[in-house]
């Protein structure tokens, strides 16, 4: 356990160094979050003013609307993640990166991103239907399938970006890369999550202390800002790790990562 935490720490610190050298990479998670919040707000406002939540929840409108929501959400997330990964790739190659270059690259792949969003939204809607109609068993099934899906699609974004594959082909290719690099690794042992958890705990404890000793409003402000910053950095660092791992598979290594640490990204049972 401690060995896995140590490996995760080394991976996180290496990715953090890349992020520290390119702070503009954090702009992509910020843009993604703002856009997603705007879409979510518009979505729920539209639902409320047109049909009302109760009407949709009790008829067959729920799943088509849920599909549309997933479609837009996945498109936004993948669009900005791909932009970040491309900028990271430019950095690994020693080229100059910019927010403009990242966004321009994602725009050039907008058709592939849309296809993937449709595919993911379909999967997400089907899983939601299973969860809703099979009770506790459905929740267990969805939990297991969600775990498998996360592992299978680990490399999907760079695969779509640089190999220009369709959704099913991209998923197959992502699985192939996982097997080539780590075999059937268990993504749940992704050690970086431990660092994130510790960061959340530190922010929470600090916020509580400030609330009790100084001012409750200040404590809440520290909590909200701290959580937001951690979420932004976590999103960026995860994309950096995905990009580094993908290009390592293709034999293109960056000076900030070594082969051993990348191979330890997933802990074998």
Residues 6+ away with beta carbon under 8 Å from 229? none
List pLDDT tens digits, range 103-149: 999 999 999 999 999 999 999 998 888 888 887 887 888 888 888 88
Confidence check: pLDDT of 225 > 50: yes
Taking the C-alpha atoms of residue 195 and residue 12, their distance in angstroms, rounded to an integer, is: 8
Q: Which of these, 41, 48, 50, 33, lies nearest to 69 by C-alpha position? A: 41
Whether this model's pTM surpasses 0.85: no
Confidence check: pLDDT of 85 > 70: yes
pLDDT mean over 219-248: 77
Confidence check: pLDDT of 171 > 80: yes
How confident is residue 170, by pLDDT bands cut at 50, 70 and 90? very high
List pLDDT tens digits, range 7-23: 555 666 777 788 888 88
Taking the C-alpha atoms of residue 234 and residue 193, their distance in angstroms, rounded to an integer, is: 9
Structure tokens at 55: 């009407």
Domains of the chain by residue range: 2-263
pLDDT mean over 32-54: 74
- Answer yes or no: are the C-beta atoms of 39 and 72 closer than 8 Å: yes
Q: Which of these, 42, 80, 67, lies nearest to 235 by C-alpha position? A: 80
Instruction: Please give the pLDDT value at position 160.
Output: 94
The total number of residues shown for the chain amounts to 269
Helices (H), the chain: 2-21, 27-50, 53-57, 62-92, 99-108, 110-133, 135-152, 156-163, 167-182, 192-213, 216-249, 259-263
């Amino acid at each position: 356990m401690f060995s896995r935490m140590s490996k995760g720490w080394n991976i996180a610190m290496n990715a953090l160094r890349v992020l520290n050298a390119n702070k503009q990479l954090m702009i992509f998670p910020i843009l993604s979050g703002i856009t997603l919040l705007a879409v979510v707000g518009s979505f729920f406002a539209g639902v409320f003013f047109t049909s009302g939540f109760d009407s949709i929840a009790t008829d067959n409108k729920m799943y088509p609307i849920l599909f549309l929501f997933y479609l837009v959400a996945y498109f936004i997330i993948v669009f900005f993640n791909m932009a970040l990964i491309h900028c990271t790739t430019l950095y690994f190659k020693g080229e100059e990166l910019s927010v403009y270059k990242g966004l321009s690259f994602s725009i050039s792949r907008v058709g592939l991103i849309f296809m993937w969003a449709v595919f993911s939204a379909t999967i997400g809607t089907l899983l939601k239907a299973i969860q809703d109609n099979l009770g506790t068993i459905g929740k267990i099934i969805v939990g297991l399938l969600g775990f498998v899906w996360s592992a299978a699609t680990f490399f999907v974004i760079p695969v779509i970006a640089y190999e220009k594959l369709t959704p099913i082909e991209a998923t197959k290719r992502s699985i192939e890369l996982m097997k080539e690099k780590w075999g059937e690794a268990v993504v749940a042992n992704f050690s970086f999550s431990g660092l994130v958890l510790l960061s959340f705990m530190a922010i929470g404890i600090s916020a509580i202390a400030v609330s009790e000793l100084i001012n409750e409003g200040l404590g809440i402000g520290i909590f909200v800002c701290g959580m937001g910053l951690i979420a932004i950095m976590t999103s960026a660092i995860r994309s950096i790790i995905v990009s580094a791992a993908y290009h390592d598979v293709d034999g293109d290594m960056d000076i900030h990562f070594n082969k051993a640490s990348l191979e330890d990204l997933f802990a074998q049972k």
